[in-house]
Structure 1
């Protein structure tokens, strides 16, 4: 999931918070995909304020904790995320990753082998399935954009 719409200006990029509109859009996406999100067992979020806030909206609805994971910042090499996922116990899947562009778009598109065909705007949620988390090995189950 890409974080919701954030304020354009703050002291730093890391401290940009969600706007009220951003909060509402994240909640609306959660409502649209409630049955699917209810299956999530683990939520990871980047340490940036807007991703933590986005993850908290999901976590509060589904009564899950949020794990802050440095690997989900926008400038992390996508392979580092795959390496981190490889360390996750199978019982902790499905995992919801809450991150930023360009990382989230790169992950979705490279995992699905779709070049840049799958847009990941703010509050967009993608569901991917795979037997192995490697490039060109995942299938896009669905893509939910904000309403």
Structure 2
């Protein structure tokens, strides 16, 4: 399975956490990153998005550029357990799949899949990584590429 994990674009701070929206710079950075992914061999067939506004906006921009559907997932918000996402990935049959979410989840999920622990690596806003997993599980992924705005 190939999994792209992306952190949402830069968001403003003038709303409740779940309702924060992308800034103009955030929209531009997301589009820039999505264009890089479009030119790569790792174009996702589907996007899973956090229900938070900034993640949904990020997923919508990526979806428009990459022409792939979005499915909202309630278990990929900032403080969710990466183990719950891992269980959902085990049941998933779509590959490549893109997940659009938040820190610390994107960092802890990436670290869990690559290194087998949950300490978490940092992600910039609008950053995406590509993980390749012959088998979905802790420590089973190889980092193949990253995209930065």
TM-score, normalized by the shorter chain, greater than 0.5 = yes
Counterparts of 1:12-23 in structure 2, within 5 Å, are: 12-23=16-27
TM-score, scaled to structure 2: 0.89
Contact 1:38–1:62 (8 Å) recurs in 2: no
**Aligned match of 2:40 in 29, 36, 58?**
36
TM-score where L is the length of structure 1: 0.90
For residues 45-65 of structure 1, what are the alpha-carbon distances to aligned partners after superposition, in whole Å with 9 as ceiling and x for unaligned?
Answer: 000000000000010112222
Q: 1:62 to 1:122 in 2, by over 3 A?
A: same
> Residue 125 of structure 1 aligns with which residue?
128
Equivalent residues, number: 143
Name the SS of the counterpart of 2:51 in structure 1. Answer: coil
Any stretches of 5+ residues in structure 1 without a counterpart? none
* Unaligned residue ranges in structure 2 (runs of 5+): 1-5
User: Does the 8 A contact of 2:18 with 2:52 survive in 1?
Assistant: yes
Matched, 1:49 2:53: yes
Structure with higher strand content: 2
Instruction: Measure the CA separation in 1 of the matches of 2:70 and 2:125.
Output: 19
**Counterpart mapping for 1:67-146 below 5 A:** 67-89=71-93, 92-113=94-115, 118-146=121-149
